[in-house]
Amino acid sequence: MTPDDDDLAKRIYAALMDSSLNSVRAKKQQGFQLGVSDLGFCSERIRRTLDEQVPEDTDVLTAWIGTALGEAAEKAITASWDTEVVAQAEVKVKLTGEQNEYTLTGHPDLLFPVESMMIDGKTTYGLSDVERNGPNQQQQFQRHLYGLGAYANGLFPNATSPEQVTVGNFWIDRAGVDKYAHVNTEPLDLDVVAEATRWLDDVVYAFVNGEEARKEPPREMCAVTCGFYRTCRAFDTDVEGLITDEVLVRNINQYAEGAAMERAGKRLKDQAKDAVRGVDGFTDQWVVRWNHVNETPVPAHTRRGYDTLSVKAKK
């Protein structure tokens, strides 16, 4: 990379960051308005925002990618669907807490009025976690509040009660490794709405009483996603010890399970490989080919030749 290339790369990356950060700055100038998408991620982050504390700018590449892919997905789905699809409608949902009433504004990605369905799009790195575990707390709160807001705003004319509304998410792999979409839907659940309201009540209580609220995400996630990290989590003393965060625990379990499957898979491959040694040809499903790699001179010795087995799906 030449100095000119390096300068060009920095300018391009800065343009991507500015496109996201400028919208954040514009919202700051207009004053913070608590919205549907703010609920469920981190209580302490929202408390600090209500307190008008200003986070340091952090890298927002993931957010930029998610926004860009989301906009493109909305256009593609809206253009190809055989019934009406409404993208980015504004909805308002009213919540009644123990001490306060709240009116939150949101913009669900996709509404399907004929089907009485709300679908919000998400991007993630790989789809295995959402396939196993479904939406996280923030996504759960968001989709049920969006669904209730759309119903209350009369955007589902065929639904005569909230329970007739379907809410859900679709996910795509932003790395493009899992080449399909994953969808998870369910009926709108007023119990989830009540849980979201209690969550918001707790945040407001902490804000009014000058107390810290719950710090819900894993500390490591805060370090890369939250501008409050240096003043909120950097000096936490719980760096080592029992890991209790639900997201971390299930991903650690998933990694261990994957490692066990790798070992089992290697054993199956090694045993089968010995049985078909030297066999070339095809079955109704697979093309089988042995390849020989010649010995290779390397410093101080010669690497011996070896055979490799290739079994690929038949086209």
Residues 78 and 165 in one domain: yes
Mean of pLDDT values over 254-281: 78
| Alpha-carbon span 107 to 207, nearest angstrom | 26
What is the pLDDT confidence band of residue 25, given thresholds at 50, 70 and 90? very low
Q: Is the pLDDT of residue 245 over 80?
A: no
99-115 mean pLDDT? 94
Domain annotation covers residue 6 = no
Claim to verify: residue 309 and residue 236 sit in the same structural domain: no
Q: Summarize pLDDT for 273-304 with one digit per residue, the tens.
A: 767 787 888 888 888 888 877 777 756 566 67
184: amino acid identity, one letter: N
Q: Which of 215, 240, 265 is the last residue of a domain?
A: 240
* Residues 97 and 174 both lie in one domain: yes
Q: How far is CA 290 from the centre of its chain?
A: 41
- Burial class of 295 by CB neighbour count within 10 A (0 to 12, 13 to 18, 19+): exposed
Q: Is the pLDDT confidence value at 235 over 70? A: yes
Q: What is the domain range of residue 311?
A: 277-315
Is residue 77 included in any domain, yes or no? yes
Torsional class of 202: left (φ above 0), alpha (ψ -120 to 50), beta (otherwise): alpha
Summarize the confidence of residues 22-47 as an average pLDDT: 74
- Token pair 């918001």: residue: 200
Residue scoring higher pLDDT (4 or 315)? 4
pLDDT at position 50 over 80 = yes
Q: What are phi and psi of 294, to 5 degrees?
A: -70, 160
Q: Number of structural domains, the chain?
A: 3
5 alpha-carbon distance from chain centroid: 32
Question: Is the same domain home to 206 and 287?
Answer: no
Query: Is there a domain that residue 4 lies in?
Result: no
Do 20 and 166 sit in the same domain of this protein?
yes
When pLDDT is cut at 50, 70 and 90, the band that residue 116 belongs to is: very high
The reply to whether 305 and 294 lie within a common domain is: yes
Judgement on whether residues 108 and 197 belong to the same structural domain of the protein: yes
User: For residue 89, which of 65, 59, 113, 57 has the smallest C-alpha distance?
Assistant: 113
User: Does one domain contain both 51 and 162?
Assistant: yes
Q: Which residue has the higher pLDDT, 96 or 265?
A: 96
What is the pLDDT confidence band of residue 32, given thresholds at 50, 70 and 90?
A: low
- pLDDT > 70? residue 239: no
Please indicate, yes or no, if residue 288 is contained in any of the structural domains.
yes
What local confidence, expressed as pLDDT, does residue 249 receive? 80
Out of 22-36, 46-60, 231-245, 287-301, which region has the weakest mean confidence (pLDDT)?
22-36
